[in-house]
């Protein structure tokens, strides 16, 4: 096998991996975007906030910023958000980010710290603590369990 053949093979593998990651990301976004429509459909006032949240999952944002985006007061935003989602804003965002994290852990080999960074967590330790609060296990254990289930 020549060096050039090896290089071409390596480029092809990298290209396939890149395409797989893009498709996986698009599938995740589509699946989660459908969830946003479900929450926002009954109250269109919240639509700008849901659109922003799903388009900027790597960022951290406050209730006050989302209220401003919807052109309503923070207290009113909080009331209607909780009524629509069944959770207060901060719990909803944390749970949503953990759902995104679970999908990334299932569909990529990204290190835990990268998943944490991709979702806007300030540090990996906080991400692990938050993940454990919602899932009762660490991200690494979750990934290993999922890998064991999907291998069968």
pLDDT at 7 over 90: no
Quote the CA–CA distance of 106 and 102 in Å, as a whole number.
6
Query: Alpha-carbon dihedral of residues 89, 133, 117, 80, nearest 10 degrees?
Result: -10
Same domain, 82 and 132: no
In a domain, 14, yes or no: no
Q: Which residue has the higher pLDDT, 105 or 148?
A: 105
Q: Are residues 38 and 80 in the same domain?
A: yes
Count: domains in the chain = 2
Question: In whole angstroms, what is the distance from residue 101 CA to residue 127 CA?
Answer: 9
pLDDT tier, 18 (very low <50, low <70, confident <90, very high otherwise): low
Query: Are 104 and 77 within one domain?
Result: no
16 domain residue, yes or no: no
Percentage of the chain beyond pLDDT 70 is 76
Mean pLDDT of 33-52: 72
**27, two tokens:** 């599938």
Contact in structure between 85 and 94 (CB atoms under 8 Å): no
Q: What distance in Å separates the CA atoms of residue 98 and residue 130, rounded to the nearest whole number?
A: 8
Q: What is the pLDDT of residues 22-39, one digit of tens each?
A: 554 444 445 454 554 444
Structure pTM?
A: 0.71
Query: Is there a domain that residue 79 lies in?
Result: yes
Q: H-helix or E-strand containing 104? A: helix 89-107
The answer, yes or no, to whether residue 143 has pLDDT greater than 90, is yes
Question: The domain that contains 145 carries what CATH number?
Answer: 1.10.10.60
Q: What is the DSSP letter of 24?
A: H
List the structure tokens of 130. 């938050």
In a domain, 75, yes or no: yes
Residue 111 has pLDDT above 80, yes or no: yes
Going by pLDDT thresholds of 50, 70 and 90, the confidence category of residue 11 is confident
44 and 74: one domain? yes
Domain that includes residue 117, residue range: 94-152
Alpha carbon distance 126, 22 (integer Å):
27
130 pLDDT more than 90 = yes
């Amino acid at each position: 096998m020549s060096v050039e053949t090896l290089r071409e093979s390596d480029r092809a593998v990298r290209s396939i991996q890149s395409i797989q990651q893009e498709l996986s990301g698009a599938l995740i976004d589509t699946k989660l975007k459908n969830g946003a429509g479900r929450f926002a459909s009954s109250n269109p006032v919240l639509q700008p906030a849901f659109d922003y949240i799903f388009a900027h999952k790597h960022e951290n944002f406050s209730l006050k910023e989302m209220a401003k985006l919807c052109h309503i007061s923070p207290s009113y935003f909080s009331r209607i958000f909780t009524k629509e989602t069944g959770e207060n804003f901060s719990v909803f965002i944390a749970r949503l980010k953990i759902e995104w994290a679970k999908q990334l852990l299932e569909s990529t080999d990204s290190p835990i710290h990268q998943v944490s960074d991709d979702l806007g967590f300030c540090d990996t330790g906080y991400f692990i603590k938050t993940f454990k609060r919602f899932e009762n296990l660490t991200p690494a254990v979750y990934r290993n369990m999922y890998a064991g289930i999907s291998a069968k």
